[in-house]
Structure 1
Amino acid sequence: MSNEDITLTAGDAEVIVRPGSGGRIGGLRIGGTQLLRQGDRFGCFPMVPWAGRIRDGRFLDGGVVRQMPLNSPPHAIHGTARDGAWRTARVTEHEAVITHELTDPWPHSGRVTQIVALAEDSLTLTMAVETYDDSFPAQIGWHPWFHRTLDGVDVALDFTPAWQEERGADHLPTGNRIDPKPGPWDDCFGMPGGVDVTLTWPGLLELKVASREEWAVVYDEQDEAVCVEPQTGPPNGLNTCPRLVTPLEPLEATTTWSWRRL
């Protein structure tokens, strides 16, 4: 099938899936209101086979040091799949399945599958990384850009993490866990019970970002948008907290955004 845009609808919710633009969610409208910042770099893109930054673009893969392109010097950031082509495997009214074959500069072959499932009051994103031969470390994450302001109303963020990863001068976790600090943030937080962050535009909408994963990066240093990014490990996690993909055991993760009108 092609990589043309896909539109899913459920009730008054509409999602645009863009396989040809890095497998990103190009838009989420609820009652005609667009929740995601628009543009080729925005929406909500998949972070895979790693999430956030890798220090100096290097990670240990078995006994081999791998070098990724420094697309956010001095680091490599957000994986390769958001810059690659995805293909549509299956579409129904409420669900789309898209796939991406891992390729250079990633040193291993493998397939990423993303399932986008829309209900009247929720959007569920599920991603899996599979390998057919050799094992490798990987991460999964999502990077949504939610509009800070809807209809003139600014968003409020509410979450209760167990800890914050101390951020070094190089923007990467130092390995120390500290008490959560007030924003603005470009920081990783630990939530052992699962990611649970609520965005509220008072009088308009409440949206909850949830995941069974225990890591989330919150980025709200831009005027236009706030980002709540569930992921399977912290930034630089290929080095500090690797999750192994094997032929018998893919890496899978899910996030659900649920909403209600206020």
Structure 2
Amino acid sequence: MTPTLLELEDQFTHLTLAPEIGGSIVNWRVLDSGQPLLRHADTHALNTGLPGKLGCFPLVPWSNRISDGGFDRPDGWLALEPNSHTDPLPIHGSAWQQPWQVVSQSASEVVLQLDSVKPFAYRARQRFQLSGGKLSIELHVTHLAERAAWHGLGLHPYLPRTPGTRLQARADQVWLSDATKLSTRQVALPAEWDFQALGGLPDTLVDNGFCGWDGRCLIQQPDLGYQLECQAHGSEYFLLYCPVDLGFFCIEPVSHPVNAHHLPGRPGLVLLEQDQSVEMAFTLQYKPLYL
């Protein structure tokens, strides 16, 4: 069945949302040229019903992978099952695999909501705003279960990649990972992963978490004629995923490192009691490049 699509448009860009497919962004493109600002999702991608084939999806109530089959809460263990055919570990929470409801829609704003009972009861909201070529996303979660649990948030945008793609995102350190893609230890940034200055993406696979981020990110696309100036709030980490020869990359603003539930001090996670909330936000400002 074809999903219901919602659309927002300002004087520069056009946004398409698919609430029923995990509250995902399908496409965000430039009006006059049609240039995709997120990885383009065609009809086939949309009809798969998979958020990972679209432009961006929310990460609630955690980001990335969790080991050991679950995590500990103050009053006991919460068991988790693998939730993806492509990964042996629980990944990206549960919000991306459930349909969201439309709370409100106007010419410049859409608000979506999810009331979830898995892996525990919570309410998530996303607010999308489009104005002056700026896409603003607010992600908010309220814990509804009687038993407290750890929460983390994130967004998973897919961005076009060409040989000319440049990235600037200042971080202090990077988490190395093992064969299961779980965080092992923090190290100083190797030269090829140092994006303090604007530079090209590595030619080899990157699938790692970066910490000590100031929340700012510049994505320059000279081959495609534009740049994105990005700003995250409530996120001191980003995950960078650069697959080889797939034509896209991901820089994901997240509130915690991979497998934070099992790292000392649970960095970036928030223990929420019933009716307590946490939120994050991410803005992407489109600007054409006149070369």
After TM superposition, the score normalised by the length of structure 2 is 0.81
Cα distance in 1 between the residues matched to 2:212 and 2:231: 11
Question: What is the aligned counterpart of 1:35 among 24, 34, 37?
Answer: 37
Say whether residues 1:159 and 2:186 are aligned partners. no
Work out the number of aligned pairs and report it: 254
Gaps of 5+ in 1: none
RMSD across aligned positions (CA): 1.9
Cα distance in 1 between the residues matched to 2:124 and 2:257: 20
Distance 1:86 1:248, change over 3 A: closer
Aligned 1:1-262 pairs, distance under 5 A: 4-31=4-31, 32-37=34-39, 38=41, 39=45, 40=50, 41=52, 42-70=54-82, 71=84, 72-104=86-118, 106=119, 108-134=120-146, 135-149=148-162, 154-182=164-192, 183=202, 184=204, 185-192=206-213, 194-202=214-222, 204-212=225-233, 213-222=235-244, 223-240=246-263, 241=266, 242-247=269-274, 249-262=276-289
Matched residue of 1:238: which SS? helix
Shift of 1:181: 4.8
* 8 Å Cα contact 1:24/1:45 also seen in 2: yes
Q: Which amino acid aligns with 1:46?
A: P
Distance 1:248 1:82, change over 3 A: closer
Shift of 1:133: 4.4
Shift of 1:67: 2.2
Which stretch has the larger CA shift, 201-210 or 226-235?
201-210
Shift of 1:208: 2.2
* 8 Å Cα contact 1:81/1:102 also seen in 2: yes
Cα distance in 2 between the residues matched to 1:156 and 1:144: 16
Per-residue CA deviation, residues 2-49 of structure 1 (Å, 9 max, x unaligned), is x83110111121111111110011110123212222124221010111
Which stretch has the larger CA shift, 65-74 or 213-222?
65-74
Cα distance in 2 between the residues matched to 1:180 and 1:128: 34
Cα distance in 1 between the residues matched to 2:190 and 2:284: 23
Runs of 4+ that moved beyond 3 A: none
* 8 Å Cα contact 2:12/2:133 also seen in 1: no
* 8 Å Cα contact 2:173/2:186 also seen in 1: no
Which stretch has the larger CA shift, 239-248 or 38-47?
239-248
After TM superposition, the score normalised by the length of structure 1 is 0.90
Shift of 1:63: 3.7
* 8 Å Cα contact 1:214/1:231 also seen in 2: yes
Per-residue CA deviation, residues 194-237 of structure 1 (Å, 9 max, x unaligned), is 32221111161111232121100010114221101001111112
Gaps of 5+ in 2: 193-201
Cα distance in 2 between the residues matched to 1:59 and 1:228: 26
Cα distance in 1 between the residues matched to 2:249 and 2:68: 26
Larger fraction in strand: 1
Q: Which amino acid aligns with 1:217?
A: L
